[in-house]
Each structure stands twice: as C-alpha cells, then as structure tokens.
Amino acid sequence: MFPRSQFQSIFLVVAGLVLAACVGCHSPDSVRIGFVGDLISELGAGGRNGAQLAVETLDAKPGARYELLVQDDRNDPEAARAAIASFASRGAAFAVGPMTSEMAVAAVPEANRRGLVLISPTATTDELSGKDDFFFRNAADAPAGARQLAHVLHDRGARSVVVLMDSANRAYSASFGHAAAVEFRSLGGTTATEIDYRSGNSLDFADVMGRVVATPCDAVILVNSPGDAAIVTQHLRRVVPKVAIALSPWGANVQFLQVGGHSTEGAIALQAVDLESPLPRMRDFVSRYRERFGELPTTPAVQAYEAVMLGVAALDRGGAKALRATLSVPGEWTGLDGEYSLDAHGDARRALHLMEVRNGRLEALRP
C-alpha cells in the first residue's frame, strides 16, 4: 500500500489530469467552434481570449452547449492548413481565424476544400476580397482604412510620406501600404515612398531606420506590429521629431503605448473598433473581459468575440448546413461598438475609428 501522504499526492495528480482533460468538455451534441491563431502573438492570444469569453457567455445561457477548439498556427502556413483540417475532422460548425492576412491566404484553399466556414476577425488583405469562397470577416478590408488615413494626413498638411511595411505579413501590409500611397498621391501629395522590411531574428533595425530617415518626408505611415511600431516611433522622435506618425490598425493598440512610452504622444492611428465606445454592450464586454483575464481587451479580442457571435447568430438563423448561404446574404449584423454589414462575398462594410495618442491613451477623435 501507499503511505497516506503518497496516496494523497497521487490522487491529486490524477484528479488534476482528469480536470484538465475535461476543461471545455461538453456532450457529443455540443456546437464546436474552431479558433486558429499564433498564440504567442498579441493578435493570437487576444483573439483566443475573446473567442473563449464568447463561448463562455453563450454557455451561460440555456439551450445549446458550445466548445472552443484552439489550434496554434505558429505563423506557419502548413500549421494553419493543418488546423483547418483538424477542425473539419472534429466536426466544427465554423472556425474563427486565422488572425493574420498571410495565414488566411494560406488557409482559405483548405477551408474551401473542406467546406468549412472561416470568420476572420483581423485578416483584412484585399487578396481575399470579392471572392466566392468560405472566407468571411467582420472587419473592413485594408485598403478602406489606408485611404482614410491618407486623407487625414493630407488634410493635416502632409505633402510627402514614407510608408514603412513589414513584409512578414505581406498579404496585409502590401494591401494597406500600397493603397495608402496611391491615395496620398491622388490627393496631390508630392511623394509617397514605400519601404519594405521583414521582421524576424535577422532584422537589422539600424539599416531600416537609416533608409526611413534618409527619405525626406512630412509623415511616416507604419504598417507593422505594435512592438515594431513602438521602436520605430521612438527612433523617429529622437531623430526627426517634427515628422507626423500614423499607424495602421495592426499596430494601434496598448502594446504600442506600453513599449513606445512618451514617444507615442501625438501619433494618430486607425482602429477597427472603438474600445472607448459608450455603448452599454461594449462597456459590459470590457468589464467582463477584465474580470476574466485581468487586463483590458485588445482590438483582436473584441473582434474575435464578435466573430464567434456572428457565426452563432448565423447558425441560429439558418442552421449548420446553410451557414455559408446565410452569411452570404447581404445584411446587417451587430457588433460591440455598432452595426456593420456583410456583402455577398462575406466582406465587411464597417466604420474605422480615427484615434490619437493623448496622455498615454488612444483616444477617439470624435466629430
């Protein structure tokens, strides 16, 4: 026999393993929802948390049970495709993600082949716009925001811009960056210089910044991650402090503020959702998210929550077999910060929010 203390230890270990195995377990007839993203990135981690809160919110209501199936794509196309195959084989009704445009471009052909509806909260490349496929999204495509940002900079007096783009997520950065440059030129801007770099361990940031600073301009548009955007902003404030700084929705979140510190003051940005929206449903979400995860939600968290709710609302409206057809009917849907619409190709028409960093916060520039 085991000594009492040893038996208790074994019992606790076994009980812990059983509990871990049963987290998220439901009856066989529960509705399974996939989530795929790079779980070590803010996009992926925030998106997973938002999707998890959505499932928990749904499960707190009487009726159907829901289960979230989480897959890490590690920002690797093969892993993204494997995640889609896994969801399909496990009977997922639909999947939320991928969270980057690059991974979405890689995953959509597999989703089409498997007949699995994907709803991406954040993949906004125009490479996936206007297609008759299984890909849907609840965020406006990248060029719409790019054109809006170009107008803001031109209206504020900029006549020459540099557009700095991270090609590690080229499907998004090229869509946004090129559209911003084209729109700026069409408004009468004298120059719009596009500069590419690729983030990663081998990146020589000094070389990147040398190329940016060597290009005379009134403003720099950053189409990169929050961390990279913060580092670039710090450098620009030291070397060319009068240059205006603008961010794509990719980089405009709390990590940019935390890493960039005081250097971020005055930067303007577009956000897909207004986290400061006074609407009761947004305030309730922010409160519940903070209580659940111990931090304020990011934009990806909001959008992933909405994506789950969009998919479930469509299931309730037309059933699982008609999910794609239901989402393909042009119509209005409800988001946390307002209404948005989907067209016949599953592309969202949605207002983007112009923000400015003031006193360490992204504050909406309201009319």
Residues sharing a CB contact under 8 Å with residue 89, sequence separation 6 or more, in sequence order: none
Q: Hey, what CATH topology would domain 142-271 get?
A: Rossmann fold (3.40.50)
Out of 3.40.1130.10, 3.40.50.2300, 2.40.50.100, 3.40.630.30, the CATH code matching 15-140+279-349 is 3.40.50.2300
**Across the beta sheet with 268-271, what order do the strands follow?**
191-197, 160-166, 219-223, 244-247, 268-271, 353-358, 361-364
pLDDT value of residue 6 = 41
pLDDT value of residue 3 = 42
Cα first-last separation, the chain:
75
Are 36 and 98 within 8 A, CB to CB? yes
Residues sharing a CB contact under 8 Å with residue 357, sequence separation 6 or more, in sequence order: 257, 264, 265, 266, 267, 268, 269, 363
Residue ranges, CATH 3.40.50.2300, the chain:
15-140+279-349, 142-271
pLDDT value of residue 366 = 64
pLDDT value of residue 201 = 85
Are 296 and 361 within 8 A, CB to CB? no
For the chain of 367 residues, list the mean pLDDT of each consecutive stretch of 10: 40 40 55 98 95 98 96 97 98 98 98 99 96 97 94 97 96 96 96 94 90 96 96 96 96 92 97 90 98 95 98 96 97 95 96 93 80
